[in-house]
């Protein structure tokens, strides 16, 4: 183990190198570009024996990964914002084809209007496409989670997005402990045979048109219809609720670090108000919890590491009998509320000891989110709770209403 000062993008690239990815597809977009730029240097210099494929679009980048993964290669790419939107067709294809691709999504605001700064609207927009989604709090977690993602993906044959905040993490330097290649090799064995049969002597269609209903094949065996395939995919995705914590525990045994599996928690034992978020915001919330405790408020922080599949049981377990859960979303489900907040309300519905759940929208398009902003939102939420407010519309943090017209 060596300690190096590196950016979040460098941490992601280092993990891909340690994972011995065999095919890397690349198309640049801010703030993701340094990930694949670093990987291209290692491939060119011979440090990483992989095929590096520079393509003409994000759609093609994921298409390359789909082809490579189909024949059994360990495949990787990265993207952000509108690049993720441009590959949306292939996002669904990769998941439906059950391909264990790993992709870093360096979270950035969606256009229009153009904005290259951070929020989480991009990855949240494809949360229902059938990928595992893991969110990272700092650069160390980016490295560790990217390495873990290959093992998770290959164990359940479902692709994984490793999501981390653009610029706030992607371009910020932090000390990162880098495991040795031998440690990662012991943790992550070579990929086994793919689900798909790709054999010249036994030609097959890959992803053919599938009828709605099951039907017999040429040998008389009943094969699943479209709906059965979707149910099988969903069942495999739900396996991640067990596999993600198991892989995190295996990583801890290999290198001595754990990230909590599905969620991360801080000062939760006696918390009456729990501050909930995903990504780098969770690190800020640990400091907010300390600030509120200094004011006599029993506060704790709960970070959602695995957002898809949604860790409903883990959240119910940690939020039972609390007074209030305040969810800070860096994204918006337009016409509704923050996506994490909405999912949490559904997970806690009718639970014994269900807390009140309030939502806050913050940080869109890189809007600065200070500790005082976050702390004041918590104070206001507690005041509303004491006033008997059961249901509350999402609060927009640091919204300059005077500029709206």
Q: What is the pLDDT of residues 144-174, one digit of tens each?
A: 999 999 999 999 999 999 999 999 999 999 9
Q: How far apart are CA 299 and CA 286, in angstroms?
A: 9
Contact 263, 318 (CB under 8 A): yes
Q: What percentage of the chain has pLDDT greater than the value 70?
A: 100
Query: What is the mean predicted confidence (pLDDT) over 80-90?
Result: 98
pLDDT of residue 30: 97
Check: CB of residue 169 under 8 Å from CB of residue 138.
yes
Looking up tokens 């939760």, which residue turns up? 268
CA dist 365 to 25, 124, 369, Å?
27, 14, 11
Mean pLDDT calculated for residue range 315-323 = 96
DSSP-derived secondary structure letter, 114: P
The answer to whether the 2-187 and 265-403 domains have the same CATH topology is yes
Full-model pTM: 0.97
Instruction: For residue 3, list its beta bridge partners.
Output: 177
pLDDT for 199 beyond 90: no
Burial class (CB in 10 A: 0-12, 13-18, 19+), 3: exposed
Q: Helix or strand or coil: residue 296?
A: coil
Phi first, then psi, for residue 46 (nearest 5°) are 85, 5
- Report domain 265-403's class: alpha beta
Domain segments of the chain as ranges: 2-187, 265-403
CATH of 2-187, one of 3.40.50.970, 1.10.10.60, 3.40.50.720, 2.40.170.20: 3.40.50.970
d(CA 191, CA 151): 9
Is residue 397 within 8 Å of residue 373, measured between CB atoms? yes
Asked if 9 contacts 31 with a C-beta cutoff of 8 angstroms, the reply is yes
Q: What is the DSSP letter of 373?
A: H
Of the candidates 192, 304, 306, the residue with the CA atom closest to the CA atom of residue 246: 306
Q: pLDDT tens digits for 215-227?
A: 998 889 999 999 9
Which tokens in the block code for residue 303?
């970070």
pLDDT score recorded for residue 397: 97
């Amino acid at each position: 183990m060596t300690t190096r000062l590196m950016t979040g993008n460098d941490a992601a690239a280092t993990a891909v190198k340690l994972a011995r990815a065999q095919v890397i597809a690349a198309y640049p977009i801010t703030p993701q570009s340094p990930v694949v730029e670093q990987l291209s240097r290692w491939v060119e210099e011979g440090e990483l024996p992989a095929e590096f494929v520079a393509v003409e679009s994000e759609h093609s980048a994921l298409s390359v990964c789909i082809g490579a993964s189909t024949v059994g290669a360990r495949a990787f790419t990265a993207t952000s914002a509108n690049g993720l939107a441009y590959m949306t067709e292939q996002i669904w294809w990769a998941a439906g084809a059950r391909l264990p691709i790993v992709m870093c999504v360096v979270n950035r605001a969606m256009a229009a209007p153009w904005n290259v700064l951070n929020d989480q609207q991009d990855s949240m927009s494809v949360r229902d496409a059938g990928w595992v989604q893991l969110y990272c709090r700092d650069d160390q977690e980016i490295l560790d989670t990217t390495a873990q993602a290959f093992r998770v993906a290959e164990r359940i044959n479902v692709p994984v997005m490793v999501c981390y905040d653009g610029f706030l993490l992607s371009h910020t330097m932090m000390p990162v402990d880098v495991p040795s290649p031998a440690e990662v090799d012991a943790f992550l064995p070579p990929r086994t045979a793919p689900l798909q049969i790709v054999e010249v002597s036994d030609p097959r269609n890959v992803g053919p048109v599938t009828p709605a209903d099951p039907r017999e094949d040429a040998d008389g065996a009943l094969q699943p219809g479209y709906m059965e395939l979707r149910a099988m995919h969903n069942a495999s995705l739900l396996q991640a609720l067990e596999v993600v914590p198991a892989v995190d525990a295996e990583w801890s045994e290999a290198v001595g670090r754990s990230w909590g599996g599905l969620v991360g928690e801080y000062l939760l034992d006696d918390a009456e108000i729990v501050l909930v978020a995903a990504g780098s915001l969770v690190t800020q919330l640990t400091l907010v919890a300390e600030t509120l405790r200094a004011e006599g408020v029993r506060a704790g922080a709960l970070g959602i590491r695995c957002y898809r599949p949604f860790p409903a049981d883990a959240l119910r377990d940690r939020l039972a009998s609390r007074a209030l859960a305040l969810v800070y979303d860096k994204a918006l489900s337009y016409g509704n509320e923050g996506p994490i907040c909405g999912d949490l309300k559904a997970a806690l519905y009718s639970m014994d000891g269900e807390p009140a759940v309030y939502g806050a929208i913050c940080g869109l398009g890189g809007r600065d989110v200070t500790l005082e902003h976050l702390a004041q939102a918590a104070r206001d939420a507690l005041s509303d709770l004491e006033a008997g407010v059961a249901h509350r519309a999402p609060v927009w943090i640091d919204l300059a209403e005077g500029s709206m017209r």
